[in-house]
Amino acid sequence: MFLDQPILFPPIHQSRVWGGRRMETLLGQTLPDATTPFGEAWAVSDRPEAQSTTADGVTLHDLWTNHRAEVFGEDAPSSERFPLLMKILDACDDLSIQVHPPAHMAEALKGEPKTEMWFIAHADPGAKIYAGLKEGKTQADFEKALQDGTVADVVHVIPARTGDCLFIPSGRVHAIGAGLLIYEIQQNSDTTYRVFDWNRVGLDGKPRELHVRQSLQSIDYVDFEPTVQSIEADGTLVKCEYFDVRLCQNAGPVGKPGEGVTVAVVHGAIHVGGTVLKAGDFALIPACLNEAAREVVPEDIKARWLEIRIPG
């Protein structure tokens, strides 16, 4: 493997009861088989159970451990693993209503905190997302709705449109609705507490496990009716302590020499140096690349991509 060009990883596809085939039909990805519903593609993952690996066998963990300054920059954090997990989600059915544990409670609940953001690359007409509580609803209201099977009535509903972005801090109750293809940038965590799953069964025909006790302890009960993110003048969608994500469309260099950036193409195709990246591709732009090798040229005016940074 050479560090003089963008670094790509084949996606790791994950079957989900709510998944579909749009990573194949909309993004042109080759799915592992012809019938299984695939709900997630883990694009950049330094998880022991799902390790991103280049075509020539180099893992993300190896890059993070042995080539950190060259690939990610001198200011990269000192964590044992690459601190972010990046995915594409294909929701053909509503996901469970769920929550991720906040940092101050995660250890006690035997989980990992997870703050994330969603960029909606495709939304069917009428699609929606659930996030936060309806104004004035209390923990008691939520618990009663859980007993009655009416949780959706107390959770805030947001119409979902292509190009929208939503920030999901740990503790925010949420769910992705049917009809959405979403790019998700999150902390490197796989802890999700499902509090309500629409009374469904899993792919094995059995009811999926719920985590009601952990969920009720994790939910932020004063998080009312959040809205989608506004796009700032420089394209910033979300800037928090874990990630800085910008939506880009103009030709020019990706970052500057010495800076490691991840690029995720959401529409169309772009050229970075001598590499063509199309919708669905994620690529690490190594810190050691010079300015010329970072030059982005969109194939047409419809091309859009995310630039993802780890704050220094």
Catalytic site positions: 194
**Residue from 293, 255, 300, 301 nearest 275 by CA:** 293
Residue 71: strand, helix, or coil: helix
Burial of residue 17 (number of CB atoms within 10 Å: 0-12, 13-18, 19+): middle
Which amino acid type is present at position 3?
Answer: L
Among 38, 62, 29, CA closest to 284: 62
Sheet bearing 252-253, strands edge to edge = 252-253, 295-298, 269-272, 275-278
d(CA 195, CA 140): 15
| Beta bridge mates, 124 | none
Q: DSSP string spanning 129-153? A: EEEEEPTT--HHHHHHHHHHT-GGG
Closest of 298, 301, 307, 102 to residue 185, by C-alpha: 307
